[in-house]
Structure formats: C-alpha cells, structure tokens
Amino acid sequence: MILYQLLRPYAYLQIEHPKKYIYDWVIPFLLTAFFLVICLIFVDYDNYFSSSGLISKFLDFVEILPGFYIAALAAIATFQRNDIDQHMPNPAPKLNIKIKGKDQNIELTRRRFLCMLFSFLTAHTIIFAILAILLIQIVPETMHYTSQRCLSLSWVDCRMTISIIYLLPISFIFWQIITATFHGLYYLGDRLHQPD
C-alpha cells in the first residue's frame, strides 16, 4: 500500500489512449537517439558527467522545474471552471484505478489528466535530479576503476561505451520530461480553452 502511494505519480504512464504512447515513449526515444548522435559527434565523452559537463548543465535546468510543476498542479486542482471536470472527448483517456479494493477502468476528466501529468512531471524531475547527482559522482570514479581493468576493448572505446551506457537512461528521462512538459503546456495554453 505504501509503495503504491509513493509510486502513484507514475500512474500517468498507465493512462490508456491510442496516441499517448507517442508522447510517452516514441518522441522521447527519437529525441534521445538524435541527442546521442549529436553528443557522439560534437561532445567529448569525458565531459558528459564532469562537474561542469553536459549532465550538470541539464541538472541546473531541471532542478528548478519541480516548483513550477507543483504550482501548476495546485492551480489545476483548484481551478474553478466546470468544463474542466467533464470527461475528455472520445476517445477519452482511461485509467484502471482501485475503488474500495476493486479495479475499475474510468474515463478521465481534463482536471484529472492534467493533475496526473503534472504530478508525474514533478516526480520525474526529482528522480532525474537524484540520478544526475549520483551519476556526476559515480561515473568519473567508474572511468578510473575501469581504466585499469578493461581488457576486451581499447581504453578509448571502453570509456565511450561506459559513457553511453550511463547517458542513455538519463537523457531518455530528460527528453521524456521535455515532451510531457510541452504536452502539458499545449493543454493548459490551448486545448483547455477550445470547445470539444
């Protein structure tokens, strides 16, 4: 029960809609792939995780976001407008939730969808920040440790491989945050004010 509650912001990823996977997975994956290619071409891999490197700069940007997401979440949760509590138009996003211990599949209102989105974004930016701080501390040490034990690859290839292995998940999380943020901005700035 406690774990369920702590991980509930990630229920946003369980919302069912025919096109939602594009925002959650496809676009972030494509942006990550493009980003990794750019990094391999233009950025020295020794600078990905240094204290003033690429991930550190992403961290500087992302660590200010949770406050804005929490403010947006509070505004949406208390927004006084009746149409925000109507079900979204077909095909309405659906979510499987527990009501009195029983699973039920419900259609979402715009308020619930946006609250879930900004709850997810808040949690995801906190996870990104923690992971980035850990990687900035761990990766340089890993590189030093591996430099003495990497036998199957040349040292340069080994360091680059390690950098990419660590860079892949953190950059995917970053681009997932960016994509979801723009999706939320679309809803708040445009779609919320259009008739169904």
One digit per residue, the tens of pLDDT, for the chain of length 196 reads 788 889 999 999 999 999 999 999 999 999 999 999 999 899 887 788 888 889 999 999 999 999 999 999 999 988 887 778 888 888 889 998 877 778 888 999 889 999 999 999 999 999 999 999 999 998 887 776 766 666 555 555 677 788 888 899 999 999 999 999 999 999 887 766 666 6
pLDDT of residue 151: 55
Give residue 43's Cα distance to chain centre: 23
| Reduced 3-state DSSP string for 87-118 | ECCCCCCEEEEEECCEEEEEECEHHHHHHHHH
pLDDT of residue 141: 78
Which residues 6+ apart lie within 8 Å of 69 measured at CB?
118, 121, 122, 125
Neighbours of 179 (CB within 10 A): 20
CA distance 133 to 128: 9
CA distance 89 to 113: 12
- Amino acid, res. 161: T
State the residue for tokens 């942006």. Answer: 31
pLDDT of residue 121: 97
